[in-house]
């Protein structure tokens, strides 16, 4: 009887977040417009023979449009997660099918971030990570507190370099 296999220690998650909430602004506006247009169409419907059926059809169409323009983008936003662990940067995306991309910290060559004025005021920005390999450039838009992400990536790179220098 062999010894039980030793499980690797859980990776410590340093930062974890969804894209910034402002990515949902267009979705929210479309939802409000859909409800407003449907409500106005139902309320101001002239008296015709099939008024109730037409109002019901408008309501059903509005619900279907609302599902498409708001629920799907919200689920896409909710299913997207950026994580920075001690081992690397992990991006998880997808509602029904899942896509996971991992960039080990040891392969990160450069990281930078940019923020326009409005992005600085909202606390978000674009994080660009360059790594060795065939898919070497990763651009993450709408990263909340992007400066903190950038600093943490370089802290991990420095910690890894110190560990190599110290012989760990």
Q: What is the pLDDT of residues 54-91, one digit of tens each?
A: 999 999 999 999 988 898 899 999 999 999 999 999 99
Q: Tell me if residue 116 falls in helix, strand or coil.
A: coil
In this prediction, residue 8 carries a pLDDT of 46
Helices of type H across 67-129: 72-79, 117-122
Round to whole Å and give the CA distance between 24 and 17: 15
Round to whole Å and give the CA distance between 151 and 69: 36
Q: What is the pLDDT of residues 30-61, one digit of tens each?
A: 999 999 999 999 998 888 888 889 999 999 99
Give me 94's structure tokens: 């997808």
Question: What count of other Cβ atoms lies within 10 Å of the Cβ of residue 51?
Answer: 12
Q: Tell me if residue 140 falls in helix, strand or coil.
A: strand
């Amino acid at each position: 009887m062999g010894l039980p296999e030793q499980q690797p220690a859980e990776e410590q998650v340093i930062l974890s977040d969804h894209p910034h909430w402002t990515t949902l602004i267009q979705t929210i506006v479309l939802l409000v417009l859909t409800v407003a247009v449907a409500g106005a169409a139902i309320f101001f419907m002239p008296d015709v023979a099939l008024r109730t059926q037409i109002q019901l059809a408008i309501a059903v169409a509005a619900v279907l449009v609302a599902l498409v323009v708001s629920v799907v983008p919200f689920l896409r936003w909710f299913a997207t997660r950026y994580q920075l662990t001690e081992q690397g940067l992990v991006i998880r995306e997808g509602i029904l099918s899942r896509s996971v991309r991992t960039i080990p910290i040891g392969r990160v060559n450069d990281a930078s971030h940019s923020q326009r004025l409005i992005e600085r005021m909202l606390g978000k920005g674009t994080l660009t990570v360059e790594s060795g390999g065939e898919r070497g450039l990763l651009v993450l838009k709408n990263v909340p507190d992007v400066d903190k992400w950038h600093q943490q990536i370089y802290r991990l790179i420095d910690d890894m370099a110190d560990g190599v220098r110290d012989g760990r």
